[in-house]
Amino acid sequence: MARRVVRKPTKVLMDLDARKATILKAVVVEHIDTALPVGSSAVAASADLDVSSATVRSEMVALEREGYLAQPHTSAGRIPTDKGYRYFVDHLQSGVLGAVQQQQVKEFFASVRGEVEEVLEQTSTLLSQMTSYTSVVVGASHAHATILSVQLVNLDSHHHLLVTVFSDGSVVKHSLTPSYAATPKEVMEASRQLNALLINTSLATRVQVPSRRDHEADLVREAVSILHAQQPVMEGEQVFIGGSSRVAEVFDGVETVRQVLAILEQELLVVSLVQDILDQGLSVAIGSEHGFEPLATCALIVAPVTIDGVPAGAVGLLGPTRMKYREAMAAAEVVSARLSRHFAGADDRG
Amino acid sequence: MARRVVRKPTKVLMDLDARKATILKAVVVEHIDTALPVGSSAVAASADLDVSSATVRSEMVALEREGYLAQPHTSAGRIPTDKGYRYFVDHLQSGVLGAVQQQQVKEFFASVRGEVEEVLEQTSTLLSQMTSYTSVVVGASHAHATILSVQLVNLDSHHHLLVTVFSDGSVVKHSLTPSYAATPKEVMEASRQLNALLINTSLATRVQVPSRRDHEADLVREAVSILHAQQPVMEGEQVFIGGSSRVAEVFDGVETVRQVLAILEQELLVVSLVQDILDQGLSVAIGSEHGFEPLATCALIVAPVTIDGVPAGAVGLLGPTRMKYREAMAAAEVVSARLSRHFAGADDRG
DNA sequence: GTTAGCAGTCAATTCTACCGAGTGCTAACG
DNA sequence: CGTTAGCACTCGGTAGAATTGACTGCTAAC
């Protein structure tokens, strides 16, 4: 499947003189607001500009030539290109989250309780509610966490459950369904041996399994192999998508909506997309920048979540290229920071 | 929130003479196929009818008067009402799944592996692929399963993980974060006591907790209370939604798409909707029948999943009222049956 | 370099006419 | 009496023409 390549935005030659920048900004702001092409007179009317529409026009042709603006057709206004949005995001916008939303985030993290998964899920709902965009929260894999406890539980003589607890607090179960009947006693003994064998190892470390040919040893061998087989599949990557109905609010064509939803369904794809962008140190990928065709009209904002400095996931927001970058970026940033703090040492209160 | 009331379809006076039935059937079939109002001549041309369009017309006014058909406007053809679809589903359609799909289901269940959750999730994808409708798979709560094992694992002195294994093979974790520092030894002892206390009980049975005022007893008390607190929230209800992008294929208005997606997001709502329909012994709820406003233009097909005769969940398909009932119902039925069998005693092979 | 003015472009809108699918009605037919 | 052919009528959809108006690019003057 088409490999996603993130193009680093070229910083070279990307500087516009003050007036062009002002005009570009006006166009972007207006177009984000109205979704319509914006004309020269609208820009000229913009408060912080004191020239006629004719002047604006000539600047606009320059901006168009340089690739910041585009015209849907002659005699329409201009709309920003991906490059135009990029410049806007990099140079022209700023500001922090509104006080109301600040408060909302604060209250959320003050009151949120429960397991990591629940917190992540609710966080994704929060983000999507705050921004009215679809949100993606990715919890990192526990591939490098160490095993705190392994337990083999007897369901019946042919069904056993391998329950593994990791140092990051995650719990994973696997079914063992041997063809032979194992006695509860054998299962218990196998469980004991597994503990001795695996505790404090990570899934990456290979261990010496017993080579005896009895039921206990068989169970142990099978359990270990199941557990270690997990690794390549990057088991444990958790994805929570919030507000997928927002997709239908924010894009207009039913077909576009369908495509975006189809992408979101492929959770693995979303994870790697978010990861790609994170790897590039980008916080927002606009339109073609993420190189993923079906999302050509989307922008994706990503902010990393870290626990004590260690990368532990990410939060993202998916919207149209004409999304409200300022608010959305602020929201992603604040939430990711709060989330990091929450996991770092939050729940040390009674 | 608006209580959903499922109206039992009245069987009284619902019998149409053979010709009316044929005409109704023709209209439904045609409209499902084309999404357009269907006129008298189209019906008259229908193979199994040997009358003129004029006759069909007079029958149609009767069918309209009786509420089976409706006219979008004068001089348009007729479209079926919910009542019309209902009659169609109850009396006029039949048939089984195509051989290709039969095979697909067979192969799927022959090759599917892994934990219950994964199977359910993949099943929901299967269903949605087979039918091109959005699918819902609901796994029953384990509220009545008994506890096979409880284990308290030490993360650090203030964080412990309570891992509970149930007889239905589900595993649940809860965090314990006491304000006092507990030693590994105390945690282990508490774990031992919890086991003694809870094994073979269900979440519904109350147990006698120790009343001592030491760390071990405190841990035990807190663990038990957390576990039992779960019950009312019907923890463990698992919902898997497959093919949500199909929503955008199958409904035309963006707004409709948004509403349906918004409903699907509310997983609890979906569960209770499915449950309601199941309780009424219905296998399909058409339009207003489920009494849930935002889904007025939807039909929901539900088939129960049982394990050894015990209800264990359900599979559902959500589509427009003009969905392909025959195929969709057949698919839901076959898949639910296979799924039931799969869980009953499938994985007893090596 | 800036601006007013102007001619030109082109999507969107409105209007009109018209088509045709489909109806309801009626009168004739077996 | 049920069935049918025939006919007038309705009304949504479409196609085309005319109009509008929001733009632009250009040019000449400031």
Nearest-5° angle of CA A87, CA A133, CA B132? 120
**Considering its fold, how many domains does chain A have in total?**
3
Over residues B193-210, the mean pLDDT reads 91
A241 and A317 assigned to the same domain: yes
DSSP A89: I
Q: Most B CBs within 10 Å: which of A257, A259, A266, as the mutation test of the B interface? A: A257
B26 and B113 assigned to the same domain: no
Over residues B30-39, the mean pLDDT reads 95
Task: Tell me which residue of A30, A47, A146, A128 sits closest to A84, measured CA to CA.
Answer: A30
pLDDT at B142: 73
Last residue of one domain, picked from the residues A172, A204, A233: A233
A179 near B CB under 8 A? yes
Contact assignment for A175 to B161 by CB distance below 8 Å: no
B129 and B222 assigned to the same domain: no
- Specify if B157 maps to a domain: yes
pLDDT at A347: 46
Residue partners of A348: CB distance under 8 A and separation at least 6: B158, B177
Average pLDDT along chain A:
89
Task: Tell me which residue of B8, B6, B24 sits closest to B91, measured CA to CA.
Answer: B24
DSSP A20: H
Strand B159-166 to B171-176 pairing: antiparallel
- Specify if B9 maps to a domain: no
B67 and B111 assigned to the same domain: no
* B99 pLDDT more than 60: yes
Average pLDDT along chain B:
89
DSSP B161-197: EEEEEETTS-EEEEEE--SS---HHHHHHHHHHHHHH
Per-residue pLDDT tens digits for B181-199: 999 999 999 999 999 999 9
B193 and B285 assigned to the same domain: no
- Specify if A10 maps to a domain: no
* B204 pLDDT more than 60: yes
Considering only CB atoms, which chain A residues are within 8 Å of B177?
Answer: 347-348, 350
CATH number, residue B74 = 1.10.10.10
A205 and A153 assigned to the same domain: yes
Contact present, B244 and B276 (Cβ < 8 Å): no
d(CA A267, CA B138): 20
Considering only CB atoms, which chain B residues are within 8 Å of A171?
Answer: 161, 163, 171, 173
Contact assignment for A175 to B347 by CB distance below 8 Å: yes
d(CA B39, CA B43): 7
pLDDT at A344: 83
Q: Please report, rounded to whole angstroms, the spatial distance between the CA atom of protein residue A66 and the C1' atom of nucleotide D24.
A: 18
CATH number, residue A173 = 3.30.390
- Specify if A4 maps to a domain: no
Highest mean pLDDT among A149-153, B206-210, B304-308: A149-153
Which residue does chain A place closest to B264, by CA atoms?
Answer: A245
Which residue does chain A place closest to B166, by CA atoms?
Answer: A155
Structure token pair of residue A295: 């999302």
- Specify if A350 maps to a domain: no
Task: Tell me which residue of A240, A238, A208, A242 sits closest to A224, measured CA to CA.
Answer: A208
Considering only CB atoms, which chain B residues are within 8 Å of A262?
Answer: 245
Last residue of one domain, picked from the residues A205, A233, A261: A233
CATH number, residue B259 = 3.30.450.40
Per-residue pLDDT tens digits for B101-137: 999 999 999 999 888 899 999 999 999 999 999 999 9
A251 and A319 assigned to the same domain: yes
d(CA B246, CA B134): 6
Q: Please report, rounded to whole angstroms, the spatial distance between the CA atom of protein residue B92 and the C1' atom of nucleotide D6.
A: 34
d(CA B93, CA B88): 6
Contact assignment for A173 to B174 by CB distance below 8 Å: no
Query: Cβ of residue A78 near strand D, that is under 7 Å?
Result: yes
d(CA B262, CA B242): 15
List the single protein residue with the shortest CA to C1' distance from C5: A54
Residue B51 CA from chain centroid, whole number: 43
Q: Please, which pLDDT band fits residue B350 given cuts at 50, 70 and 90?
A: very low
DSSP B77-135: -BEE-HHHHHHIIIII------HHHHHHHHHHHHH--S-HHHHHHHHHHHHHHHHSSEE
Beta-bridge partner residues of A146: A202
**Positions of strand C less than 7 angstroms from a protein CB:** 2-5, 8-11, 20-26
**Positions of strand D less than 7 angstroms from a protein CB:** 3-6, 9-12, 21-27
Q: Which domain holds residue B114?
A: 99-140+237-348
Which residue does chain B place closest to A171, by CA atoms?
Answer: B173
A247 and A336 assigned to the same domain: yes
Give the type of residue at B88: F
Last residue of one domain, picked from the residues B179, B204, B233: B233
pLDDT at B132: 96
DSSP A204: T
pLDDT at A217: 94
Over residues B19-27, the mean pLDDT reads 95
- Specify if B320 maps to a domain: yes
pLDDT at B334: 95
Contact assignment for B163 to A153 by CB distance below 8 Å: no
d(CA B142, CA B237): 8
pLDDT at B47: 73
* B304 pLDDT more than 50: yes
Over residues B326-347, the mean pLDDT reads 88
CATH number, residue B219 = 3.30.390.60
A184 and A272 assigned to the same domain: no
Contact present, A70 and A61 (Cβ < 8 Å): no
Nearest-5° angle of CA A114, CA A307, CA B152? 45
Q: Which residues of chain A have pLDDT under 50?
A: 1-5, 7, 9-12, 233, 346-350
Per-residue pLDDT tens digits for B212-263: 889 999 999 999 999 888 755 455 678 999 999 999 999 988 999 999 999 9
- Specify if B12 maps to a domain: no
Q: Please report, rounded to whole angstroms, the spatial distance between the CA atom of protein residue B182 and the C1' atom of nucleotide D20.
A: 80
A256 and A337 assigned to the same domain: yes
Backbone phi, psi, residue A225, to 5°: -70, -40
Task: Tell me which residue of A138, A53, A193 sits closest to A336, measured CA to CA.
Answer: A138
Residues 48-77, chain B, CB closer than 7 Å to nucleic strand C? 53-54, 57, 60-61, 64, 71, 74-77
Give the type of residue at B321: T
Summarize chain A as % helix, strand, coil (round to 5): 50, 20, 35
Query: Cβ of residue B58 near strand D, that is under 7 Å?
Result: yes
Over residues B24-53, the mean pLDDT reads 93
Query: Cβ of residue B50 near strand D, that is under 7 Å?
Result: yes
Query: Cβ of residue A41 near strand D, that is under 7 Å?
Result: yes
* B349 pLDDT more than 60: no
A26 and A105 assigned to the same domain: no
A248 and A328 assigned to the same domain: yes
Q: Please, which pLDDT band fits residue B145 given cuts at 50, 70 and 90?
A: confident
Q: Please report, rounded to whole angstroms, the spatial distance between the CA atom of protein residue B30 and the C1' atom of nucleotide D6.
A: 27
Q: Please report, rounded to whole angstroms, the spatial distance between the CA atom of protein residue B75 and the C1' atom of nucleotide C25.
A: 14
Structure token pair of residue A70: 């585009």
- Specify if B135 maps to a domain: yes
pLDDT at A203: 86
